[in-house]
A and B are shown apart, each in its own frame.
Chain A
Amino acid sequence: MNNPGSSDNKNSVLSDKALGLAPSGIRKFFDIVSEMKDAISLGVGEPDFDTPWHIREEGIYSLERGRTFYTSNSGLKELRVEIAEYMKRSIGVSYEPLKETLITVGGSEAIDLMFRAMINAGDEVIIPQPSYVSYLPCAVLADAVPVIVPLSAEHDFRLTPQELENAVTDRTKILVLPYPNNPTGAIMEKSDLEAIADIIIKNDIYVLSDEIYCELTYSGRHVSIAQLPGMKERTVVVNGFSKAYAMTGWRLGYACGPEWLIAQMTKIHQYAIMCAPTTSQYAAVEALKNGDDDVAMMRESYNERRRFVLDRLRKMGLPCFEPLGAFYVFPCISEFGMSSEEFATTLLKEEKVAIVPGTAFGDCGEGYLRISYAYSIKALKKALDRLEEFVGRLRNKE
């Protein structure tokens, strides 16, 4: 009799690729945290706001009208038109709604699709880290060779031309550009993007620009690499509704890019997914049509919390560059001579505060923590008070 509870003896029938994927660092930490009953958290990667009511209402209304069927594979025409208009007004780039856009199940699906549509075995994908946990496994699953570029605090975790140049080989096919960045909160300004665009074009590289946090920038509007001359035709902009409109659970994202590439991505999407959730698509139309004020309100609120957390961390004496995007702060804790994981685990045990170790987002996150400020000021205060206690105790021991 096989023992279904045991995984060891099943390894021979599982795919080497799946078995070879390392478990997510977030998952590992989650398992530790969930054993702690009354822990408070600064560990989430999603907004604390509810989806604005008028958007939820459109979702409900679509159900009442019986809009419970598949949409076309690429998504509702009405939504694709709204997305093209949004791209035009937010980054000033024109996309043909019915040829150059694709509605996906969250931004994550679009990442997977681009790799699968472009990679041949052995092609290299450059992934700057620390960054979101999906790029590397998705690239590996598509038979790519991931090339990690460790970013440094010295450059505010921006990708420099030198770092990119060093990573490029003649097998380089895609560069992942994850800005505004989770977990560091870093952004790339126009001049930073211009500085790498030449290298990208010269080496015939394509760009996966993950702009899911593009509405959450705090020093002027987000700039997309697709805006730069010669870049639109080699860039897939990945975006979605999760962060800007607090719609994580609706699972809705999109990709905008060249027609020939979107067509192949659409084919894979059609076989794997069929179409993105219909209810979510109707709600998203309302979000793009009438949601600008909500986004502005949430951005202002995040910005207040960002300043508040940064101020507290600096007063604690934790070195911390100023994050200008997303809703994370990335303080350095290397002075305590502990690994990030050790620090996070001890903090959790002693103060019952859950903060994700920087290493969950790549080895170069060692020495850092990702603090999410998608919480009320009251909750942030309570958690930061405990962090301050902890840090004070560690320093007294030394």
Chain B
Amino acid sequence: MDELQTRILTVIERNSRVDSGELAVRLGVSEEEINSALLEMEEEGIICGYHTMIDWDRTGVEKVTALIEVRVTPQRGKGFDEIAERIYQYPEVDSVYLLSGGYDLMVILAGRSLKEVSGFVAQKLSTLDTVISTATHFILKKYKDHGTIMEKKPEDPREIVTA
């Protein structure tokens, strides 16, 4: 991982739509260097995608997100990997993390309604053999996500011209 790669990632983590020409100017290198660094990082799986951050609350589309704490029994020889895989195969599961602390897996789930999410937990997740218990938390409001504050920034508070 070289310095240029880190600098590229710092920019596109915030705005993946910056084109390589602009990246080249901003970082003071050639466009070819940018393109080959991007390609390399895509191939190595460092760049996993160019997603868009959406505040669904502003769209009127019904969407609920739940954080589910899951305690499981690890399996001999496989640890947590197999159970994690069984969970992340469901398309409605957005993220799965293995954590240290009071529970084992954090499953983030997006659904159309509370009913849909609780249905998933009751019928799919809790019924897995190795799952000991679950605790479901629904997100009521997102204040900040992926380093972005959801509330709209007020206009530039500075005086328009200063010395």
Contacts and interface: CB of A to CB of B under 8 A. Distances in A.
24 contacts: A26-B162, A29-B161, A30-B161, A30-B162, A33-B160, A33-B161, A34-B160, A43-B160, A43-B162, A44-B158, A44-B161, A48-B158, A133-B163, A134-B163, A300-B7, A305-B26, A307-B25, A307-B26, A308-B26, A354-B160, A354-B161, A356-B161, A360-B163, A379-B156
Interface in B82-127: none
Interface in B110-163: 156, 158-163
A392 B88 CA distance: 56
Contacts of A356: 161
B27 A304 contact: yes
B9 to A, nearest CB: 13
Interface of B: 7, 10-11, 22, 25-28, 156, 158-163
Interface in A55-89: none
Contacts, number: 55
For chain A, the bracket of interface size reads 20 to 34
Interface string A321-362: 000000000000000000000000000000000101000100
A44 B160 contact: yes
- Which has the most chain B C-beta neighbours within 10 Å: A41, A48, A356, A379? A41
A304 B11 contact: yes
A345 to B, nearest CB: 12
Contacts of B26: 304-305, 307-308, 377
B161 A41 contact: yes
Contacts of B22: 308
A308 B158 CA distance: 22
B160 A39 contact: yes
A127 to B, nearest CB: 15
Contacts of B27: 304, 307
B155 to A, nearest CB: 11
B48 to A, nearest CB: 24
B42 to A, nearest CB: 22
- Which has the most chain A C-beta neighbours within 10 Å: B27, B28, B159? B159
A390 interface: no
Contacts of A303: 28
A30 B27 CA distance: 33
A29 B161 CA distance: 8
Interface string A171-192: 0000000000010000000000
B154 to A, nearest CB: 11
B161 A43 contact: yes
A192 B28 CA distance: 25
B28 A45 contact: no
A48 B160 contact: no
B160 A30 contact: yes
B28 A307 contact: yes
Contacts of B7: 300
A24 interface: yes
B6 to A, nearest CB: 10
Contacts of B28: 303, 307
Contacts of A34: 160
A132 B25 contact: no
Contact of A45 (B10, B11, B25, B163): B163
A305 B159 CA distance: 20
A46 B160 contact: no
A48 B161 CA distance: 13
Contacts of A354: 160-161
A204 interface: no
Nearest to B162: A45
B25 A24 contact: no
Contacts of A311: 25
B136 to A, nearest CB: 32
